[in-house]
Structure 1
Amino acid sequence: MTTEAEPAGAGLTTPAPPRAETGEAADRTAETADPGPPAPAGAGEAAVPIAVPVSGMPGKPLVRGPFLFGLTGGLGVLTAIAIAQMVVSSLSVIIIVVVAMFLAVGLNPAVEALQRRGLARRWAITSVFAVVIVAFVLFGLAVVPPVSQQLADFVAALPGYLRDLSNHPTLRELDADYQILPQLATFVTGTLGPSLATGVVGAGLVVLDGLFTTITLLVLMLYFLGSLHTIKAYLLKLVPASRRERTGAIAEQILSGIGGYVAGSILISAVAGVLTWIFLSIVGVEYALALALVVALTDLIPLVGATIGAVVVTGVALLGSVPAGITCAIFFVIYQQIENYVIYPRVMKRSVDVTPAVTVIAALVGGALLGIVGALLAIPVAAAIALIIREIVIPRQAQC
């Protein structure tokens, strides 16, 4: 018996579409249903950013209002003012530290020269430091006794000056008419005496402060001189490794330039002092050694130092003898020309490669900022800046 084939799908039951749930049943279904993975951004509707709630403020992001901005800016301004006040208050200490480091760098070539001769660095530093101490002691022994002797002579001769003044005929007539001597005595005992006493105490405090500053400077210089290599190695670690070798080479050039400048300045001032001492001894000026040390010390000051020393020595010579003062003036005019155009260029040509105009500008700016210390530091700083520009900035600009 033949049977007809059933159509495809016959006998299979097709499930009916689910009915839409309404009311509370729909809400329960939505809560218990698995939400599945989140839809990627851009599929279907645009992705909506989700606000991260702040603790205590659910669903509300942190908004930077004008009050918070003003508070942050005010705190920054107060911090900057506090830092500036601290720098100004400790400016004297900063200057001492900078000068001590400068002197240590300047004396380091002498230490290395002794090391090349086979002396250990510790003993080389000790030898250089001993020379510095001896120089300070000799300067004190040459300057302090003459000044003390002059003051003692003036105090001893003061009663005679007053007696001669009181016996002068013109002054006696004026005293009879206007009572000058009693008024002068009242002024001396009532005003001048206490002022001089206060001035003497203040001068003593200034001397003690200068002595303490000098000792502090020497101690810091000794520490910096002993740990100079350690300081350089530590600072180079702050530079990226790829630039460390180049930075170290430039730093060595800068340090050698500063050392050469200090050594050259000391040599020039020593030449000025020795020649001045020989000349004053020949002419017969009193306290020739003390005046020569004054010339050597002031000659370290750029631009105006040699002129200051020449004026001081010429003035002292004029007080003793007019011909001697005129001779000193002629000597210093001739010597300064020789120093400016012969000695200085030959000594400084290998250490400080700076044009004369830059040297003058740097000394003026340094003197305006920090006085004599700024003028002393300005020229090597200008030389260091010129070296950095020549070795780094100009090659980079040439590659652009």
Structure 2
Amino acid sequence: MDVDDGRTARARPSSWAAVAIGTVAVIWLAFWVLKAVFDVVALLFAGVLLAVFLHGIAGWLSRRAHLPAGWALAVTVAAIVAVLGAGVWLIAPSLAAQVDELSQRLPEAARRVADHIERYAWGRRLVERLSEAQGLPQARQALLGATRLLSTTLGALTGVIVVLFVGLFLAAEPAAYRRGLLRLVPIARRARAATVLDDTGHILRRWMLGKFCSMAAVGVLTWIGLSLLGIRLALALALLAATLTFIPYLGPVLALLPAALLGLLQGPAMAGYVIALYLGIQLVESYLLTPLIQRSTVALPPGLILAMQVLLGALTGGLGVVLATPLLAALVVLVKRVYVEDVLGDATVDQGEGAPLPGLPEQR
């Protein structure tokens, strides 16, 4: 018996090691599979967002103008195309010139920053390391750059086409796809599933409407502020700031960098003014516009948003970062309705952050 116990004790470390190795292998395999399929999932979710947005506008138009759903969707799509076409026709020439000049002036601003950094010892070491990292032959660099550009362009065009078709098909017949999805749910739970599905669509629709309003406000304020400061290429920078506002927290930082570099060409003081302008606009967006948006959607903690952006960025790159916030909003609704309310039986999830939780003693 003692010998058997000793053998068992000696065998335990190896069995624990096998379990640990197996667990790590399963986690790595699951992450690899998720990373492989998430590009497709992200494109489909982007198409769902487009469908929710189009269906929301078409539904409002149908109720107001008493139009059939199909005609309301056709009018919505035609109006959006007309607005985008008019915008391109009106601002495309000046915007194209500004974007071209921006691509030429940014390297000049970056060189000035590099010259300033090289005055210090740590800066010279940093520049030397960056130069060593770029030590590939020029021909090979050009070939790799052209290959990446071609594959990225083709992938982006394919993704846009997929999103457009998925969004249009879903918006054209939402009831058919909704019925098909609900058929996957047991009959006894279909009524609750329909409620949860409608709540999720409502939250996404309200979130997108509020986000587009926020993007428009940031773009207009940025254009006015940069124009008053006398910064050239104000229109291009404002359009960039408005677009990147779709990505919370990370987007405004990315929008600030080119504007600050261009301000630096006119002196350190101007760069400081530009940074102060962007910080002021972000304060307005964060503390005025975002709370108004979240009143009719769902409040998302900043730490949770950043964690979701990092996770999806690691899975699928830039597309995951862009879709992290709306996907998180949908997941929060699903977790609240399906798990917290139905499984745990907690019906107080929407009473606010300060509401006491059932089962816990009241804090004094």
Provide TM-score, normalisation by structure 1. Answer: 0.60
Q: Report if the CA contact (8 A) 2:222-2:281 is conserved.
A: no
Q: Report if the CA contact (8 A) 2:99-2:236 is conserved.
A: no
Within the candidate set 238, 263, 271, 2:209 is matched to 263
Give 1 or 2 for the bigger CA radius of gyration.
1
For residues 181 and 263 of structure 2, the distance between their equivalents in structure 1, rounded to whole angstroms, comes to 51
Q: Is residue 338 of structure 2 the alignment partner of residue 392 of structure 1?
A: no
Q: What residue in structure 2 maps to residue 381 of structure 1?
A: 331
Q: What residue in structure 2 maps to residue 275 of structure 1?
A: 221
The structural deviation recorded for 1:274 is: 1.2
Q: How many residue pairs align between the two structures?
A: 286
The structural deviation recorded for 1:357 is: 5.3
Q: What residue in structure 2 maps to residue 372 of structure 1?
A: 321
Q: What residue in structure 1 maps to residue 71 of structure 2?
A: 123
Q: What residue in structure 1 maps to residue 112 of structure 2?
A: none
Instruction: Please tell me the residue identity of whatever aligns with 1:104.
Output: A
The structural deviation recorded for 1:202 is: 4.1
Instruction: Please tell me the residue identity of whatever aligns with 1:276.
Output: T
Q: Is residue 255 of structure 2 the alignment partner of residue 303 of structure 1?
A: no
Within the candidate set 211, 224, 227, 2:170 is matched to 224
Q: Is residue 41 of structure 2 the alignment partner of residue 94 of structure 1?
A: yes
The structural deviation recorded for 1:356 is: 5.2
For residues 212 and 330 of structure 1, the distance between their equivalents in structure 2, rounded to whole angstroms, comes to 39
For residues 364 and 87 of structure 1, the distance between their equivalents in structure 2, rounded to whole angstroms, comes to 15
Q: Is residue 57 of structure 2 the alignment partner of residue 110 of structure 1?
A: yes
For residues 369 and 350 of structure 1, the distance between their equivalents in structure 2, rounded to whole angstroms, comes to 30
Q: Which has the higher contact order (CA 8 A, sep 6+)?
A: 2
For residues 82 and 323 of structure 1, the distance between their equivalents in structure 2, rounded to whole angstroms, comes to 52
Instruction: Please tell me the residue identity of whatever aligns with 2:324.
Output: A
The structural deviation recorded for 1:359 is: 4.5
Distance 1:225 1:143, change over 3 A: farther
Q: What residue in structure 2 maps to residue 27 of structure 1?
A: none
For residues 153 and 327 of structure 1, the distance between their equivalents in structure 2, rounded to whole angstroms, comes to 19
Q: Report if the CA contact (8 A) 1:363-1:379 is conserved.
A: no
- If each structure's helix is expressed as a fraction of its own residues, which one has the higher value? 2
For residues 105 and 283 of structure 2, the distance between their equivalents in structure 1, rounded to whole angstroms, comes to 38
Q: What residue in structure 1 maps to residue 12 of structure 2?
A: none
Distance 1:393 1:134, change over 3 A: farther
For residues 134 and 320 of structure 1, the distance between their equivalents in structure 2, rounded to whole angstroms, comes to 39
Distance 1:361 1:195, change over 3 A: closer
For residues 146 and 325 of structure 1, the distance between their equivalents in structure 2, rounded to whole angstroms, comes to 19
For residues 295 and 279 of structure 1, the distance between their equivalents in structure 2, rounded to whole angstroms, comes to 12
Distance 1:347 1:153, change over 3 A: closer
RMSD between superposed Cα atoms in Å: 3.7
The structural deviation recorded for 1:374 is: 4.8
The structural deviation recorded for 1:83 is: 10
Q: Report if the CA contact (8 A) 2:218-2:241 is conserved.
A: yes
Distance 1:123 1:277, change over 3 A: farther
Distance 1:85 1:285, change over 3 A: closer
Distance 1:380 1:131, change over 3 A: farther
The structural deviation recorded for 1:104 is: 1.6
Q: Report if the CA contact (8 A) 1:143-1:290 is conserved.
A: yes
Q: Is residue 279 of structure 2 the alignment partner of residue 329 of structure 1?
A: no
Instruction: Please tell me the residue identity of whatever aligns with 2:342.
Output: I
Q: Report if the CA contact (8 A) 1:125-1:226 is conserved.
A: yes
- Deviates further, 354-363 or 295-304: 354-363
Q: Report if the CA contact (8 A) 1:236-1:244 is conserved.
A: yes
Residue deviations 1:204-231, cap 9 Å, x none? 4433432332233222211121122211
The structural deviation recorded for 1:390 is: 4.3
Instruction: Please tell me the residue identity of whatever aligns with 2:277.
Output: F
For residues 278 and 329 of structure 1, the distance between their equivalents in structure 2, rounded to whole angstroms, comes to 15
Q: Report if the CA contact (8 A) 2:35-2:315 is conserved.
A: no
Instruction: Please tell me the residue identity of whatever aligns with 2:328.
Output: A
Q: What residue in structure 2 maps to residue 203 of structure 1?
A: 149
Residue deviations 1:138-192, cap 9 Å, x none? 57937544334566899xx9xxxxxxxxxxxxxxxxxxxxxxxxxxxxxxxx953
Residue deviations 1:239-291, cap 9 Å, x none? 33333222212221121011111111111111111111111222222221111
Instruction: Please tell me the residue identity of whatever aligns with 1:392.
Output: D
- 2:246 aligned counterpart, secondary structure: coil
For structure 2, list consecutive stretches of 5 or more residues without a partner in the other structure.
Answer: 1-27, 109-135, 348-357, 359-364
Q: What residue in structure 2 maps to residue 147 of structure 1?
A: 99
For structure 1, list consecutive stretches of 5 or more residues without a partner in the other structure.
Answer: 1-80, 158-189
The structural deviation recorded for 1:300 is: 0.7
Provide TM-score, normalisation by structure 2. Answer: 0.66
The structural deviation recorded for 1:301 is: 0.6
Within the candidate set 221, 231, 235, 1:285 is matched to 231
**Percent identical:** 23
For residues 67 and 264 of structure 2, the distance between their equivalents in structure 1, rounded to whole angstroms, comes to 49
The structural deviation recorded for 1:340 is: 1.3
- 2:52 aligned counterpart, secondary structure: helix
Q: Report if the CA contact (8 A) 1:303-1:363 is conserved.
A: no
Distance 1:127 1:242, change over 3 A: same
Instruction: Please tell me the residue identity of whatever aligns with 1:119.
Output: L
Distance 1:225 1:201, change over 3 A: same
Distance 1:85 1:302, change over 3 A: closer
- Deviates further, 224-233 or 134-143: 134-143
For residues 248 and 150 of structure 1, the distance between their equivalents in structure 2, rounded to whole angstroms, comes to 49
